[in-house]
C-alpha cells in the first residue's frame, strides 16, 4: 500500500471501495480515509452481493469501537474477509471472543508474553536478528521485505517450539490466510486459498498439540496444552485456534513494520541521519515506524445493539470496521501526520489496537524491532532502493512483499555484527 499525503482530487465517497484488495496493492487509501475523517466519519459501503459494513476512520471513534466490547463484539469475527459469515473460532479464540471468555484466555497467555517474562528469550531473539542481517553484510542487493517475512517466524517459531524445517511453509501459509487474493499466494479463487491455508494450519497445530500432550514441553504450544482458562483446561480446538492466532498475529504484521520503516527512512533520509546521530531515539523511532506503517489496516466488530454514531443509525448485527491506518493519520491527534518524525512524542498510535484486544504480542514485537533496528542503525550508513517496491494485495495487511535495497555499510559496526554472527553461529536458535 502506498502512503501519500492526500490533497489532490476530491474523493467521491459514494463510489469508494475499501473492500477492494487491489486498492492496497496498487493504490493508496489515505485520500479516501482523509475524506471520510473530514466528511463521513461513519460511512456505509455495500458490496455488489448485498453485504455491507460501516467504516469508522477517526482516531477517537476507532478507539471507542475497539474498546467497547459490550456494544461492539469480536465473537462474530474481526476481519473483513469473514464479512457475512459466522466465524467458527468465535468464543474459542482469544481474538474472536469477548469478556469473560476473552479475559480467561488472555490473562494466563498475557503473563508468558509479558515484557518481563520475555527477558529470558532475549538472547534467542538476538540470534534471530543477527541471522536475518547476515546477507546484508555481504553487500549487493538485499530484498529486505523478503528477509523480514522470515523474521517473526523465527522468533515466534522458537518460542512456540516449532521445528525450523517447518518455518518456510508456515510463513507461506499465514500469508496465504491474510492475502488469499494476492497473485503470489492465490490458489484457484481467494476463498479456496483461504480455506486451504486454514485447513493446513489447523491440521498442523492439531498435530503439534497432540504431540505436546504425549510429550509435555515448556514452549508456548505446551503452555496452551497445560493452560487453564479460569477453572477449566482448554479444549483441543481452543488450543489449535489460539496457536493459529499467535502465529498469524506475529507473522503477518511484524515484517511490514520492518519494511515500512526502512522505506520511510529511505524517503526521509534526514530522519535516518538524526536517528544514527542519536541512537537513543530507537524506541521513539520504532514507535513512529509502527504508526507510519500501520501493518494492520483494520479490525472489525459487530454491533450488539441499535445505536446512533455521529447521527448515523447503526443496527444490531451490523459490521463496523475500525481503520487503524486512518486513525494513525488523524490530523486532530497527530500534528502533521504525514511527516515521519523519529522523535515524535507523544505518539499514542493504535498500530497495536486499543482496549481489551490490544495486541498481546506487542511486548515481543517491540523487543524484536528494537533489537533489529539497533543493529541496522549501527551498521547501515544509508539505504537506497535497488528495484520496485511490491505491495501485498490485502485489505487487512498494509504489506510490502518485495523491496530490494542496497546499503552503504559502516565497516567497523558491520565487522562487529559479522563477529557476533560467527560466534552465535555455534549456538542453535
Ligand atoms: C508489529 C507487529 C504487530 C502488530 C502491528 C499487531 C497488531 C495487532 C492489533 C492491531 C491487534 C488488535 C486486534 C483487535 O482489536 O481485534 C492485535 C491483537 C493480537 N495480536 Fe498482534 N500485532 C503484532 C505482533 C504480534 C505478535 C508478535 C504476536 C504473537 C506473539 C501477536 C499476536 C496477537 C494476538 C494473539 C492478538 C489478539 C489479542 C486479543 O484478542 O486479546 N501480534 N495485534
The answer to whether the peptide bond before residue 100 is cis (omega within 30 degrees of 0) is yes
Cα 138 to its chain centre, rounded Å, is 29
Asked if pLDDT for residue 91 goes beyond 90, the answer is yes
- Check if 257 has its Cβ closer than 6 Å to any atom of ligand 1: yes
Q: What is the mean pLDDT of residues 70-92?
A: 96
Structure confidence by residue, pLDDT tens digits, 265-319: 999 999 999 999 999 999 999 999 999 999 999 999 999 999 999 999 999 999 9
Q: Atom 43, ligand 1: which residue's CA is nearest?
A: 359
pLDDT band, residue 239 (cuts 50/70/90): very high
Q: Which helix or strand (DSSP H or E) is residue 9 part of? A: none
In degrees, to the nearest 5, what angle opens at C-alpha 147 toward C-alphas 141 and 370? 110
* 53: confidence class by pLDDT, cuts 50, 70, 90: very high
Q: Is residue 410 part of a domain?
A: yes
Any domain includes 84: yes
- Maximum separation of any 2 CA atoms in the chain, in Å: 63
* CB-ligand 1 contact for 109 (6 Å cutoff): no
* Cβ neighbours around 362 below 10 Å, total: 16
Could you give the CA distance from residue 189 to residue 207 in angstroms, rounded to a whole number? Answer: 27
Alpha carbon separation from 38 to 14, 53, 244, 245 (Å, rounded): 14, 19, 38, 34
55 Cβ inside 6 Å of ligand 1: no
Per-residue pLDDT band for 425 (boundaries 50, 70, 90) equals low
Q: Is residue 189's pLDDT more than 90?
A: no
Q: What is the residue with the minimal CA distance to atom 27 of ligand 1? A: 250
* Percent of the chain at pLDDT exceeding 90: 88
Question: What would the pLDDT profile of 403-416 be if each residue is shown by its tens digit?
Answer: 999 999 988 888 88
Output the nine-digit C-alpha cell for 367: 523487543
As a whole number, mean pLDDT of residues 147-155 equals: 93
- Whether 429 maps to a domain, the answer reads no
Say which residues have a Cβ less than 8 Å from residue 79's Cβ, sequence separation at least 6: 178, 298, 299, 300, 396
Q: What is the pLDDT of residue 49?
A: 96
The answer to whether position 400 is within a domain reads yes
Q: For residue 416, what pLDDT is reported? A: 87
**C-alpha closest to that of 32 among 53, 6, 54:** 6
351-371 pLDDT, tens digit per residue, is: 999 999 999 999 999 999 999
The CB of 353 under 6 Å from ligand 1? The reply is yes
- CA R_g for the chain: 21
Instruction: Answer whether 256 contacts ligand 1 (Cβ < 6 A).
Output: no
Indicate the average pLDDT of the chain: 95
Cell numbers found for residue 405? 535495497
Atom 17 of ligand 1, residue of closest alpha carbon: 359
Is pLDDT above 90 for 59? yes
* Inside any domain, residue 283: yes
- Is residue 341, in this structure, part of any structural domain at all? yes
Q: Is residue 2 in a domain?
A: no
CATH for 271: 1.10.630.10
Distance 30 CA to ligand 1 centre (A): 22
Domains held by the chain: number? 1
**Does 140 map to a domain?**
yes
Question: What's the angle, vertex CA 248, arms to CA 127 and CA 297, rounded to 5?
Answer: 110
Is the CB–ligand 1 distance for residue 365 below 6 Å?
A: yes
Long-range contacts of 227-231 (CB under 8 A, 24+ apart): 227/108, 227/109, 228/108, 229/101, 229/104, 229/105, 229/108, 230/100, 230/104
- Is residue 427's pLDDT more than 70? no
pLDDT at position 10 is 85
Domain hosting 153: range is 21-424
Amino acid at each position: 500500500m502506498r502512503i501519500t499525503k492526500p490533497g489532490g482530487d476530491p474523493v467521491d465517497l459514494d463510489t469508494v471501495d475499501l473492500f477492494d484488495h487491489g486498492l492496497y496493492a496498487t493504490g493508496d487509501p489515505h485520500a479516501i480515509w482523509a475524506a471520510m475523517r473530514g466528511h463521513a466519519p461513519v460511512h456505509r459501503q455495500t458490496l455488489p452481493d448485498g453485504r455491507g459494513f460501516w467504516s469508522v476512520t477517526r482516531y477517537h471513534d476507532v478507539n471507542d469501537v475497539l474498546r467497547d466490547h459490550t456494544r461492539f463484539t469480536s465473537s462474530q469475527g474481526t476481519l473483513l474477509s469473514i464479512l457475512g459469515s459466522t466465524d467458527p473460532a468465535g468464543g474459542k479464540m482469544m481474538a474472536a471472543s469477548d469478556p469473560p471468555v476473552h479475559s480467561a484466555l488472555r490473562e494466563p497467555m498475557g503473563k508468558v508474553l509479558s515484557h518481563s517474562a520475555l527477558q529470558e528469550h532475549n538472547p534467542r531473539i538476538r540470534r534471530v536478528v543477527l541471522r536475518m542481517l547476515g546477507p546484508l553484510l555481504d553487500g549487493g542487493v538485499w530484498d529486505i521485505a523478503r528477509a523480514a517475512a522470515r523474521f517473526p517466524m523465527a522468533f515466534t517459531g522458537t518460542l512456540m517450539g516449532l521445528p525450523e524445517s517447518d518455518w518456510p511453509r508456515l510463513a507461506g501459509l499465514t500469508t496465504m490466510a491474510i492475502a488469499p487474493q494476492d497473485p503470489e499466494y492465490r490458489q484457484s479463487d481467494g476463498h479456496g486459498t483461504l480455506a486451504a491455508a486454514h485447513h493446513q494450519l489447523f491440521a498442523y497445530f492439531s498435530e503439534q498439540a497432540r504431540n505436546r500432550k504425549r510429550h509435555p514441553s515448556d514452549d508456548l504450544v505446551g503452555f496452551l496444552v497445560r493452560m487453564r482458562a479460569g477453572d477449566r483446561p482448554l479444549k483441543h480446538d481452543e488450543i489449535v485456534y489460539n496457536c493459529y492466532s499467535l502465529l498469524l498475529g506475529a507473522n503477518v504484521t511484524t515484517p511490514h513494520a520492518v519494511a515500512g520503516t526502512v522505506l520511510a527512512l529511505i524517503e526521509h533520509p534526514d530522519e535516518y541521519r538524526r536517528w544514527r546521530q542519536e541512537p537513543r531515539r530507537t524506541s521513539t523511532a520504532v514507535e513512529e515506524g509502527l504508526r507510519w506503517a500501520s501493518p494492520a489496516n483494520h479490525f472489525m466488530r459487530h454491533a450488539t445493539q441499535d445505536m446512533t454514531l455521529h447521527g448515523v443509525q447503526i443496527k444490531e448485527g451490523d459490521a463496523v470496521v475500525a481503520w487503524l491506518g486512518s486513525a494513525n493519520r488523524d490530523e486532530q491527534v497527530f500534528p502533521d501526520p504525514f511527516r515521519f518524525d523519529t522523535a515524535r512524542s507523544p505518539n499514542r498510535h493504535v498500530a497495536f489496537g486499543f482496549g481489551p484486544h490490544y495486541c498481546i504480542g506487542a511486548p515481543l514485537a517491540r523487543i524484536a524491532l528494537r533489537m533489529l533496528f539497533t543493529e541496522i542503525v549501527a551498521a547501515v550508513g544509508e539505504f537506497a532502493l535497488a528495484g520496485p517496491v511490491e505491495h501485498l494485495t490485502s485489505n487487512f495487511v498494509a504489506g510490502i512483499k518485495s523491496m530490494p535495497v542496497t546499503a552503504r555499510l559502516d565497516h567497523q559496526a558491520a565487522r562487529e555484527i559479522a563477529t557476533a554472527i560467527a560466534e552465535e553461529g555455534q549456538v542453535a536458535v
